[in-house]
């Protein structure tokens, strides 16, 4: 069935179309950068954990306490 809603579509102005295109491109770029950043963070975290697991654990020596001068 043909109605006025599906027969005649509103066309946005060229400024609106350009703005929508720019907005879409911007969102795609930001999303791609976020995915890349998250993947890099996960990869670096995994490498750090593997490195820490391979290093021997060295207990820290307790610091010597200083005696305060009594007047």
Residue-wise pLDDT for 2-54, tens only, equals 777 777 767 778 888 899 999 999 999 999 999 999 999 999 999 999 999 99
Structural domain count of the chain: 1
Identify whether 43 is part of a domain.
Answer: yes
Say how many residues make up the chain: 71
User: Structural domain of residue 41, as residue ranges?
Assistant: 27-55
- The rounded distance, in Å, linking the Cα atoms of 36 and 42 is 10
Q: Is residue 42 part of a domain?
A: yes
Q: What predicted TM-score, i.e. pTM, was given to this entire model?
A: 0.56
Is the pLDDT score of 71 beyond 80? no
Residue 46 lies in a domain: yes
Is 15 a member of any domain?
A: no
1 alpha carbon, distance to own chain's centre: 47
Query: Is the residue at 3 inside a domain?
Result: no
Q: List the structure tokens of 35.
A: 């995915």
The band of 70, judged by pLDDT with boundaries at 50, 70 and 90, is low
Q: What is the largest CA-CA distance in the chain?
A: 102
Please check whether residue 17 lies inside any domain of the structure.
Answer: no
């Amino acid at each position: 069935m043909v109605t006025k809603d599906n027969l005649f579509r509103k066309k946005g102005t060229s400024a609106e179309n350009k703005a929508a295109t720019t907005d879409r491109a911007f969102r795609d770029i930001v999303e791609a950068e976020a995915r890349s950043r998250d993947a890099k963070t996960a990869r670096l975290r995994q490498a750090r954990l593997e490195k820490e697991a391979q290093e021997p654990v060295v207990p820290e020596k307790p610091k010597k306490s200083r005696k305060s001068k009594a007047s």
